[in-house]
Amino acid sequence: MTGVLRVDWVPGSDRLRGTCHCGAAHVADGPVEMWEWLLAHPVGHGAPVPAPHPEPAMAGASR
| 43 or 4, higher pLDDT | 4
pLDDT at residue 14, rounded to an integer: 92
pLDDT at residue 17, rounded to an integer: 94
CA 6 to chain centre: 14
pLDDT at residue 8, rounded to an integer: 94
pLDDT at residue 48, rounded to an integer: 45
**4: pLDDT strictly greater than 80:** yes
**Alpha carbon distance 32, 59 (integer Å):** 49
- Give the tens place of pLDDT for each residue, 12-63: 999 999 998 888 888 999 999 998 888 887 765 554 444 555 555 565 555 5
